[in-house]
Amino acid sequence: MAATLVGVIAAINTLTPLATQLINQLRQSGETDEQVIARARALVAETRKITEEDMSDKA
Amino acid sequence: MIQRQRRQLATLLLIAMIAYTGSGFACSSSDVSKVKKKVADAAAILNTAAKSNRSLYQSGTYGAVGSPEAIGKRQKVATVIHQANEYLSLAVERAANLQPSDLETGKTDIVKLLQEATAVLGSLNIGNENIRVVLQSAVTAINAAVTLTLAIKGGS
């Protein structure tokens, strides 16, 4: 019984991130080219902001 | 009873893995769209690497938060990610202007930029296993995007 419970929990732990990623991929697969590029630009801008802050001397 | 449940779990996991693996190929789109998506995937990977660098600093993995040693490591990693991100930014703009008529040239330009990004990412070693794994994962994922981009054939 305990082994089954552990197995179920392990399966849920494995499947949840996979399901989330699958849903995200399916959602993104409906994007137009413009939306894909807009998302990529937003990611690049966010990465630039993070790295510029982290390149500074601030703690 | 337990064996049956295990078999069901294994089947469920197998279905999930097949669905996950296949999802990248499930939706048909133009080749130009596929290239744009690969570039966006690379941007997402690098964004995760930048966030991981910050998390590792904040969690004290680089040393005591606020110490010159920890800040120095965070800066070094941020610098290479920043440089790689600038190459990626150029790749995004190249992808934005990509047309079916210049797919092959565009693919070459984009692949070159992505390779520059991976070269920068692979050049750093600050002696920290966690960030080494993060950067190596980013390099591997961007290389996969390069391979997939190169595999896209024009014409559909």
Q: Is the overall model pTM greater than 0.80, yes or no?
A: no
Q: Are A3 and B3 in contact, with CB atoms under 8 Å apart?
A: no
Q: Are B13 and B137 in contact, with CB atoms under 8 Å apart?
A: no
With CB atoms and an 8 Å threshold, state whether A36 touches B37. yes
Q: Are A22 and B15 in contact, with CB atoms under 8 Å apart?
A: no
Element (H, E) at B30: none
All residues of chain A having their beta carbon less than 8 Å from the beta carbon of residue B113 are none
With CB atoms and an 8 Å threshold, state whether B77 touches A54. yes
Neighbour-count burial of B29, counting CB atoms closer than 10 A to its CB (0-12 exposed, 13-18 middle, 19+ buried): middle
Q: pLDDT band for A17, please (50, 70, 90 cuts).
A: low
- Asked whether residue B39 carries a pLDDT value surpassing 60, the answer given is yes
Q: Are B40 and B148 in contact, with CB atoms under 8 Å apart?
A: no
Residue of B nearest to A8 (CA): B9
- Asked whether residue B68 carries a pLDDT value surpassing 80, the answer given is yes
Q: What are phi and psi of A51, to 5 degrees?
A: -70, -35
Q: pLDDT band for B25, please (50, 70, 90 cuts).
A: very low
Q: Is A3 on the interface with B (CB under 8 A)?
A: yes
Q: pLDDT band for B10, please (50, 70, 90 cuts).
A: low
Tokens, residue A17: 């991130």
What is the topology classification, in CATH, of domain B30-151? Butyryl-CoA Dehydrogenase, subunit A; domain 3 (1.20.140)
ipTM above 0.95, yes or no: no
CA distance B62 to B53: 9
With CB atoms and an 8 Å threshold, state whether B16 touches A51. no
